[in-house]
A and B are shown apart, each in its own frame.
Chain A
């Protein structure tokens, strides 16, 4: 919705209003006429100025408005100079030429806003216009035609005014039902035309009794003023842009019903008024108008009923669609739950059925290694032992990932010293490091408290340290640094085969293995770092990988420090 506030428009309305008051205060005569003519000409000029100021996409209607009002103003001047000239005069030519220009402009705005496609709304406008035609005919035109002592020319010109008002009202009605609703410019324009029509009608009922300076002039003066205000107000730009009202909405407000009812009752009202006045009933006009209005109202009602039917059908279809979608969703949900259950069963199966035979294999290998064995047999059994350890680790990793994916990673946090867990994880790897002649250093001083699940944090550190042992060639160095600076920080640095900066971003992906790891056939599944990252994440921490200067890798873990 556009704002009403606009300095130039406010200034115009205020000064124009003062001028209209002054007009009625000064005595009839030339001074008064000059004020009237100044208002008229200024209005025409200001419409052009407003068009330049607001630069609407469609300029033609505004040029026509300016020209139409200018014609009226010129006619006013002529009317004042000649002082109530005989009909027909040059003034009439200008007055009558003004109306078509204004109506044309209204039609242009209507088309620009796409109003010509809104048949139902136009039907309402036609019904109202028909009612107006009947009233205009019975109360104004009929009198002019029957008026005694008028020449043909005078009669034609006098009759042309009410006809022009019909055309203008039709234009207004069409514009009214289609244009951009409730913008200030819209309301200003509608009010302006209504003032013009009221003044015209007041004049038309008794043209011969009119004198310059009558109260009727207020209607015309305010019409000038508001027309200029319309063009000055910035919201005038929206009048020619397509109306964004919902297309398929059934719009039968009480206003519309009242309007249709009024049109239907107009013929009856005319009959009543004429009978009260004791004048003969204009049968032909009333019958014709009744027929036209009734047919149009019935057509409009049929249109409304059909639209209702369409809406109901659409709703029915939509409801059927949504019910079907709902059923589909429920079926899918059942299938998903079933799949989830099967996965859980599978996980439990792996957990139990792989662990039980592994328990036998690993247990008996250990028992056998306690026996007296030949060198070959001992080394073979050591291979079995290493392999079964790897298999166990793989089973554990897969189980962990499965649990992670079904959101069942339970953490049992307690207060830990990260330092102590790091030392323990390093001790666990010491044997493997010694076997490769690796230097394994823990650089830590002072406790680094964290609230975390001990088993999981141990698993995280063990994964990092085991990786370092695995990827570092014999004789290398592994350093574990633990610090408390804002966060609990732990770094595992090695002098291993490392990775590229591009690979660093991907090492935490599930099943990802670097090219170098694959090339050198370093055993692994690509799950260790994924699990490490998941554990860090579950504790509200971070993990990152960086290539180390001079070769090797740095893994950095940050966990929230316990308060």
Chain B
């Protein structure tokens, strides 16, 4: 288990927004722009926290989450899902897949940073 935070989003602007904000808090970040890349990085770095966008092409966030949950080496990685869909059913689907937290777009970067910090501290234990 590393101290790395993985961030994955197919939108460059939002990826930069999240990484910029989390970098300010001093985390080591690896970033991915699609689900396949995100899963590969997760398996390579075994991050403490993964921030995954749900709506990515190829493997979407929930599929990456499912793959992470299926990997015994990644069982302590905390996962936060980011989604632009506001439907309650999506939130439920995310939690059922084993998400630890859920943040709806648009989000406040400060609020996201708070949630990541909570998960980071949990993941260390």
Contact = CB atoms under 8 A, between A and B. Distances in A.
Interface string B44-78: 00000000000100000000000000000000000
B106 A362 contact: yes
B11 interface: yes
A410 B89 CA distance: 9
A360 interface: yes
Nearest to B106: A359
A396 B86 contact: yes
A309 interface: no
Contacts of A332: none
Contacts of A388: 106
A50 to B, nearest CB: 78
B14 A352 contact: no
B20 A351 contact: no
B86 A351 contact: yes
A412 B89 CA distance: 10
- Among A352, A355, A396, A410, the one with the most B-chain Cβ atoms within 10 Å of its Cβ is A355
B122 to A, nearest CB: 24
A358 interface: yes
Given A351-B86, A396-B86, A356 B110 contact: no
B21 A367 contact: yes
Given A360-B17, A363-B14, A367-B20, A352 B85 contact: yes
Interface in A402-446: 410, 412
Contacts of B13: 360, 364
A462 to B, nearest CB: 15
Interface string A359-391: 111111011000000000000000000001000
A351 B85 contact: yes
Nearest to B82: A359
Contacts of B14: 356, 359-360, 363
Contacts of A363: 14, 17, 21, 106-109
A355 B110 contact: no
Given A396-B86, A399-B86, A410-B88, A356 B105 contact: yes
Contact of A366 (B11, B84, B89, B109): B109
Nearest to B88: A410
A392 interface: yes
Nearest to A456: B88
A412 B88 contact: yes
Contacts of A359: 14, 17, 84, 105-107
Give chain A's interface residue range (CB within 8 Å of chain B): 20 to 34
A362 B55 CA distance: 19
A370 to B, nearest CB: 8
A392 B17 contact: no
A539 to B, nearest CB: 15
B105 A364 contact: no
A357 to B, nearest CB: 8
B36 to A, nearest CB: 21
Contacts of A361: 106
Contacts of B88: 410, 412, 455
A364 B89 contact: no
B20 to A, nearest CB: 6
A352 B106 contact: no
Interface string B101-122: 0000111111000000000000
Contacts of B109: 363, 366-367
A351 B106 CA distance: 11
Contacts of B107: 359, 363
Contacts of A366: 108-110
B119 to A, nearest CB: 19
A361 B89 CA distance: 27
A358 B84 CA distance: 10
Contacts of B106: 355, 358-359, 361-363, 388, 392
Contacts of B105: 355-356, 358-359
A142 to B, nearest CB: 98
B86 to A, nearest CB: 6
B81 to A, nearest CB: 14
Contacts of B21: 363, 367
A388 B106 CA distance: 10
Given A356-B14, A367-B20, A362 B85 contact: no
A364 B13 CA distance: 9
A356 B11 contact: yes
Nearest to B10: A356
B11 to A, nearest CB: 6
Contacts of B17: 359-360, 363-364, 367
B108 A351 contact: no
A437 B110 CA distance: 27
Contacts of B89: 410
B87 to A, nearest CB: 8
Contacts of A455: 88
Contacts of A352: 55, 84-85
Nearest to A354: B84
Nearest to A366: B109
A355 B108 contact: no
Nearest to B53: A356
A374 to B, nearest CB: 21
Contacts of A355: 84, 86, 105-106
15 contacts: A351-B84, A352-B55, A352-B84, A356-B105, A359-B17, A360-B17, A363-B17, A363-B21, A363-B108, A364-B13, A367-B17, A367-B20, A410-B87, A410-B89, A412-B88
Given A352-B84, A363-B106, 7 more contacts: A351-B84, A352-B55, A356-B14, A358-B105, A359-B17, A367-B20, A367-B21
Nearest 4 interchain pairs by C-beta: A359-B106, A355-B84, A359-B105, A363-B17
Interface of B: 11, 13-14, 17, 20-21, 55, 84-89, 105-110
